[in-house]
């Protein structure tokens, strides 16, 4: 199934993101997670690339293939390039083809301190060009409602998005955000810039203190008053933070769906229980 075509025929498109385990021994656990998530009948599940883009220990292709073969769900395999050579990318494209994977999310990837950066690709649009040139894969890309942290401003970042679209990207998935108004404003600017591909909203529920300290800080996302109030009230009460974190994500998603968003992409953090709890409270709008 070609994911861009799915957006032409269904609204909203509902999807999840999972990440491979750090050790091969963790594969059974990730398949248990996928089995639980399958109850929600997602339109696709994306699988992130190995940490640091390490091909030697990368189970992305294997997991994506099994999502399709074992669970009958369309996979979206991430592919990063900051730590990949041209030969690495060619090899991964070949792996995807053999595994009957039809869709990839083309990303630059995070720069890991202490790891050498390869020089064949500098940006995601360059990777997308290479994927389009050497395969029939459908290409999705990332976007940032508040602008990528390396861009001078949002206007420059939206110009970079146009390069991605020109390189063959047919669907965009946003970085996580907590302020829907910023997403709506971003979408207006994107459309005014002549970008008309579907945009799926990336949502990450914050349900524990560790996520506050790591994920929220690293994302650079703006924190609206309602969110900071929730954190202030419950950061030292794990049970209440868990429940209110789920509800915050539910309220955010319901508002997005009521405003006609084209897709919801839920960052699961490999926690099926949180995703299932959210699904139960939004499924009437899907």
pLDDT of 52: 47
pLDDT of 1 over the 70 cut:
yes
- At 25, is the pLDDT very low, low, confident or very high (cuts 50, 70, 90)? low
pLDDT of 36 over the 90 cut:
yes
Whether 40 and 15 have beta carbons less than 8 Å apart is answered as no
Percent of the chain with pLDDT over 70: 97
Residue 41 backbone dihedrals phi, psi, to 5 degrees = 50, 55
- Taking the CB of residue 24, how many other CB atoms lie within 10 A of it? 11
Question: For 215-258, how does the pLDDT look when each residue is reduced to its tens digit (9 = 90+)?
Answer: 887 788 999 999 999 999 999 999 999 999 999 999 999 999 99
258 annotated active-site: no
Could you tell me whether strands 103-107 and 169-174 are parallel, antiparallel, or unpaired per DSSP bridges?
Answer: unpaired
Question: For 38-93, how does the pLDDT look when each residue is reduced to its tens digit (9 = 90+)?
Answer: 999 999 999 998 654 455 457 999 999 999 999 999 999 999 998 889 999 999 99
**Which of the residues 17, 74, 146, 262 is marked catalytic?**
17
pTM: 0.95
Closest CA to 219 of 197, 203, 238: 203
Whether 211 and 244 have beta carbons less than 8 Å apart is answered as no
pLDDT of 160 over the 70 cut:
yes
pLDDT of 14 over the 60 cut:
yes
pLDDT of 91: 93
Whether 161 and 195 have beta carbons less than 8 Å apart is answered as yes
Residue 251's contacts (CB-CB under 8 Å, 6 or more residues apart) are none
pLDDT of 54: 53
Name residue, tokens 């949502």: 203
Percent of the chain with pLDDT over 90: 82
């Amino acid at each position: 199934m070609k994911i861009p075509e799915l957006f032409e025929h269904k609204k909203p498109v509902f999807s999840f993101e999972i990440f491979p385990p750090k050790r091969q021994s963790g594969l059974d656990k990730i398949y248990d997670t996928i089995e639980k998530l399958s109850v929600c009948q997602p339109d696709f599940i994306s699988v992130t690339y190995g940490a640091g883009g390490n091909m030697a220990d990368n189970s992305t292709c294997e997991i994506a293939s099994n999502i399709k073969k074992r669970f009958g769900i369309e996979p979206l395999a991430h592919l990063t390039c900051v730590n990949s050579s041209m030969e690495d990318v060619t090899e991964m494209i070949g792996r995807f083809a053999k595994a009957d994977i039809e869709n990839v999310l083309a990303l630059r990837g995070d720069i890991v301190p202490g790891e050498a950066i390869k020089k064949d690709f500098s940006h995601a649009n360059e990777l997308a060009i290479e994927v389009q040139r050497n395969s029939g894969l459908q290409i999705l890309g990332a976007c940032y409602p508040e602008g990528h942290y390396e861009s001078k401003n949002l206007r420059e970042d939206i110009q970079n998005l146009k390069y991605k679209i020109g390189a063959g990207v047919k669907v965009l998935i946003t970085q996580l955000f907590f302020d829907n108004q910023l997403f709506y404003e971003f979408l207006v600017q994107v459309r005014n810039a002549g970008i008309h591909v579907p945009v799926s909203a990336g949502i990450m529920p914050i349900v524990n203190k560790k996520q506050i300290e790591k994920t929220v800080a690293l994302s650079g996302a703006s924190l609206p008053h309602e969110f900071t109030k929730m954190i202030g009230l419950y950061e030292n009460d794990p049970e209440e933070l868990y429940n209110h974190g789920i509800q915050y994500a539910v309220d955010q998603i319901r508002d997005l769906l009521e405003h006609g968003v084209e897709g919801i992409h839920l960052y699961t953090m490999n926690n099926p229980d949180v995703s299932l709890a959210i699904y139960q409270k939004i499924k009437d709008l899907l």
